[in-house]
């Protein structure tokens, strides 16, 4: 037990890094997802096509390859230089963005056409109809799937340890090899991830109940 107590401050420091990257990446990812979903549904062929290529490319390649591509690949061009944290945030955001795009697109399409017609018949523009009528309803429906994807993205951040980011998983690795107590350390790391994800689920459930469509 004292092994864990001794390791805990460093593991929690790692957790801080994990959460920092997760929060920024998930917000960016959501904004990317919203933009791409709207491009996907826009009445302009070329925009639909760009959005589709992006989503397919991300869904069709492993996360770790995307990470290496951005951290090693892009950096090797010597055009910009990304530190590991920035590269990590970008990868998680771009990856989550593609999945969010599909979730949001499906959510928008699930809203009855009559809602749009009613809003347009009052005199709302297409953009106003999206903002005041379609999206608020779509988001309520999407919430469970959005939570799901967020949890997946949180777990994906553990792969960022591979490029040397000092996240929870990386700290686990350091502690495990320093103490030769791999079983206890990894159990502790697992429990910390579990607690965070459990809390995330509770928050999501709370929000879901609050915004339920009556």
Partner 1 sequence: MSIIIVKNLRKSFGTVEVLKDINAEVQEKEVICVIGPSGSGKSTFLRCLNLLEEVTGGEVLINGHDITDPKRKININKVRQEVGMVFQHFNLFPHKTVLENITLGPIKIRATDKAEAGRLALELLDKVGLKEKASSYPGELSGGQKQRVAIARALAMNPKIMLFDEPTSALDPEMVGDVLEVMKQLAKEGMTMVVVTHEMGFAREVGDRVIFMDGGYIVEENEPNELFGNPQHERTKAFLSKVL
Interaction site with partner 1 (CB under 8 A): 112, 114-115, 117-125, 128, 132-133, 136-137, 140, 213-214
- Choose between 104 and 192: whose C-beta lies nearer to partner 1: 104
Closest to partner 1 by CB, 75 vs 137, is 137
H-state helical runs in the chain: 2-41, 45-59, 63-68, 75-76, 84-109, 113-122, 126-129, 135-156, 168-179, 182-211
| Minimum separation from the CB atom of position 143 to partner 1 (A) | 13
Distance CA 97, CA 190 (A): 26
In angstroms, give the least distance from the CB of 107 to partner 1. 13
Contacts of 152 (CB under 8 A, 6+ apart): 99
Is the distance from CB of 185 to CB of 4 less than 8 angstroms? yes
**Residue 78 vs 121, nearer CB to partner 1:** 121
Shortest CB 138 distance to partner 1, Å: 10
Nearest distance from C-beta of residue 139 to partner 1, angstroms: 10
Between 72 and 132, name the residue whose CB sits nearer to partner 1. Answer: 132
- CA 161 – CA 191 distance, rounded (Å): 18
């Amino acid at each position: 037990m004292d092994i864990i107590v001794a390791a805990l401050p460093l593991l929690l420091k790692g957790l801080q890094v994990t959460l920092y990257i997760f929060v920024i990446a998930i917000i960016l990812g959501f904004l990317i997802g919203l933009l791409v979903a709207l491009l996907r549904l826009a009445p302009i062929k070329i925009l639909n096509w760009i959005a589709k290529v992006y989503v397919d490319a991300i869904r069709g390649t492993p996360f770790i390859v995307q990470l290496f591509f951005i951290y090693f690949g892009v950096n090797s061009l010597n055009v910009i230089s990304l530190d590991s944290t920035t590269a990590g945030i970008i990868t998680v955001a771009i990856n989550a963005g593609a999945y969010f795009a599909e979730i949001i697109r499906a959510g928008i399409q699930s809203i009855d056409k009559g809602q749009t017609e009613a809003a347009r018949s009052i005199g709302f523009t297409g953009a106003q109809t999206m903002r005041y009528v379609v999206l608020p309803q779509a988001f309520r429906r999407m919430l469970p799937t959005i939570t799901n994807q967020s949890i997946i993205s949180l777990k994906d951040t553990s792969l960022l340890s591979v490029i040397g980011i000092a996240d929870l998983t990386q700290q686990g690795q350091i502690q495990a090899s320093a103490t030769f107590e791999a079983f206890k350390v990894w159990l502790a790391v697992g429990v910390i991830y579990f607690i965070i994800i459990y809390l995330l689920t509770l928050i999501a459930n709370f929000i879901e109940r609050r915004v339920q469509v009556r």
